[in-house]
Structure 1
Amino acid sequence: MIRVRASQIFTPSVEDAVSAKKELDAGAEFLQLVEKFSTCPSKKSGGDLGWMNEDSALSLLGDTVSLKDKGKVIGPIHSQYGYHILLIADVQLEEAEAVFSSGTSMQDLNARFPDAHSLLFKTFHIGLPVAGYPPGETVGSVCSAHGKPVETVLAALNSEFANRNVSTISPQDLQARIESGDKNLIVLDIREQWERDIARMEGATSIARENSEAVLGSLGKDREVVLVDWKGDRFPSFQKWLKQRGFSNVKGLEGGIDAWAASVDTSLARYDIDEDDGYRYEDIIEEHDGHTH
């Protein structure tokens, strides 16, 4: 996985967008043109939108990004708010926290990450011995015995563990928290507008491109934030992004709005998403979202 840092020139004027692009093509400095043309609040920081993960960058830029794209200028891109010219300021490899190492015993791996053996078998064809792993057997020794590169195996284990090791709250517990009137709690609905139109969660704050900076800017970093998506499989990357922005208490609703509709507010409609049709969440994880106008 990679992470991307982007900057932008934003203007509601097509004439200014064209002029800015022409000056860029003629060799003008991006920072100078931010100052000259941009009307985005990010202008105060040279147009910097901060770091975003790979999924967010794809949604923002409309294309995949690689390490070689550092310095690339994209746009003007027309949105409902105006025109964006984006600079890929930096691209870095993003490594998961190294929870497991080559010296981690297989017994400890199993205790902390029971699904590790499924991953090892499906990805690396490393099967689990019938009698289990004996004491002293490590990730490194197993990789050596199967002729697998330990660095690659560890990267997969640590990445998958990080993706699954997220903080959640059950629908019932969230309902109790809401009913208690806890002022430190805020529920953020990160779904797309059409989803909210089908199943609107009472009391949740919708966060979208046009209001993300205002919403996040109004929150103390110690607020308890609960994220609501469709089925609980989309929030982890947004949770990680919020933590990178300094929010220390972020959870996801287990099962998303679908579980909420099934067990708490049964008056809500439930819906399906065919992700094979190229469906992509309009994630606010794009740090661009908060700086669009």
Structure 2
Amino acid sequence: MVRVRASQIFTPSVEDAVSAKKELDAGVEFLQLVEKFSACPSKKVGGDLGWMNEDSALSLLGETVSPRDKGKVIGPIHSQYGYHILLVTDVQLEAAEAVFSSGTTMQDLNARFPEAHSLLFKTFRIGLPVAGHQPGETVGSVCSAHGKPVETVLAALNSEFAKRNVSTLSPRDLKARIESGDKNLIVLDIRERWEHDIACIEGATLITRENNEAVLGSLGHDREVVLVDWKGDRFPSFQKWLKQRGFSNVKGLEGGIDAWAAAVDTRMARYDIDEDDGYRYEDIIEEHDGHAH
């Protein structure tokens, strides 16, 4: 998993977006263009949007990034708000908690993480013996026998285990908890604002890049926090981030708001996300030039 830091030039004007990108391509400094074109409050800090977890970065940037993408310019990207030109200023790898080590026995690995053998075979072509692993075999010894780098194998095992080993609450259980009036419960909606505008759980708090410090600052670390995303695939990294900030009782809504709409509130609007929805620089140039003719 990674965390990403980015800066942006935001403008509601396609003409300004095109002009800013052309000046960037001509070698003008990003910071100068933030001052010249950006209408975002982040302009006060040079366009800096701060650190984002992997899911938030993917949602904003429209593509996955790695440490080698530091300094990459993405966009303009067209959103419902306007046009965004983004500069990836830093990317850091986040190491998963080391649950397994080279000395972990294969029997213990498979007992704690039954899906491990599928991951090992699919990713590293390390198969499960017909008779099973012997008591003395460890992750390290198996990697050596198959000529695989143990550090790489352990990173994959720990990362996948962390993704799967998350606390969840079913839609029906969350409904019951809300109806019980438990004052210790707080439901945080971590989706984009436009998603929240389409469908939301009554009483849930939308947490955004702009208000997250205020929202979290008002909560005691002993509060039970339930995170709501679209389909239950975004919250694990946010859950980890909250735990790093001292929140010990954090769960995700199983299946996200889509599952809530299917199981609890069948009248709720449902939606899809098209990963190819956003415009890119070339599309904007064509659109702009087309209007000029």
The TM-score range, normalised by the shorter chain, is 0.7 to 0.9
Counterpart for residue 204 of structure 1: 204
Taking only aligned residues, the RMSD between alpha carbons, in angstroms, comes to: 3.7
- Aligned equivalents of 1:184, 1:49: Cα separation in 2: 31
**1: CA distance between counterparts of 2:182 and 2:173?**
12
Aligned pairs for 1:221-240 (under 5 A) are: 221=217, 222=221, 223-240=223-240
Contact 1:73 1:88 in 2 (8 A): yes
Instruction: Describe the SS at the equivalent of 2:10.
Output: strand
Three-state SS of the structure 1 residue aligned to 2:215 is coil
Give the Å deviation of 1:87. 1.2
Equivalent residue runs for 1:83-122 within 5 Å: 83-122=83-122
**Residue matched to 1:126:** 126
Q: More displaced, 81-90 or 34-43?
A: 34-43
What are the superposed Cα offsets for residues 129-184 of structure 1, whole Å, 9 maximum, x if unpaired? 45543333210111222333322321221111111122222334423331232344
- 1:59-110 CA deviation, whole Å, 9 max, x = no partner? 3233443444322233343333233221111233443232212111223323
Query: SS of 1:155's equivalent?
Result: helix
Structure 2 residue 170 is matched with structure 1 residue 148: no
1:226 Cα deviation from its structure 2 partner: 1.4
Task: Confirm or deny that 1:6 pairs with 2:6.
Answer: yes
Q: Paired residue for 1:286?
A: none
The worse-fitting range, judged by mean Cα deviation, of 168-177 and 96-105 is 168-177
Q: Does 1:219 align with 2:219?
A: no
Q: Normalising to structure 1: TM-score of the pair?
A: 0.73
Give 1:32 deviation, angstroms.
Answer: 3.9
Amino acid at match of 1:50: G
Matching residue of 1:176: 176
Give the direction of change, closer, same or farther, for the CA distance of 1:94–1:23 in structure 2 (3 Å limit). Answer: same
Unmatched tracts of structure 2, length 5 or more: 279-293
Taking the aligned partners of 2:37 and 2:275, their CA distance within structure 1 comes to: 34
Matches within 5 A, 1:184-203: 184-190=184-190, 197=198, 201-203=201-203
Aligned to 2:78: 78
Secondary structure class of the residue paired with 2:128: coil
CA distance in 1, matches of 2:117, 2:190: 33
Amino acid at match of 1:253: L
Partners of 2:245 and 2:6 in 1: CA distance:
15
**Do the aligned residues in 1 keep the contact of 2:8 with 2:47 (CA within 8 Å)?**
yes
SS of 2:225's equivalent? strand
Question: 1:254 matched to which residue of 2?
Answer: 254
| Residue type at the aligned position of 1:180 | S
Deviation (angstroms), 1:23:
4.8
CA contact 1:191–1:281 (8 Å) conserved in 2:
no
Listed as ranges, the gaps of 5+ residues in structure 1 are: 283-293
Deviation at 1:251, TM superposition (A): 1.6
How many matched pairs? 273
| 1: CA distance, partners of 2:235 / 2:258 | 14
Q: 1:42-75 CA distances to partner (integer Å, 9 max, x unpaired)?
A: 2333221123345543432334434443222333
Amino acid at match of 2:212: L
* Aligned position for 2:43: 43
183 and 34 in structure 1: CA distance in 2 versus 1, 3 angstrom threshold: farther
Question: Does structure 2 conserve the Cα–Cα contact (< 8 Å) formed by 1:226 and 1:252?
Answer: yes
Task: Give per-residue Cα distances to partners, 1:115-135, cap 9 Å, x unaligned.
Answer: 212322333343334554333
> What SS class does the counterpart of residue 216 from structure 2 fall into?
coil
* Alpha-carbon distance, 1:231 to partner: 4.2
Distance in structure 2 (CA, Å) of the matches to 1:29 and 1:146: 50
**Counterparts in 2 of 1:130 and 1:18: CA distance versus 1, 3 Å:** closer
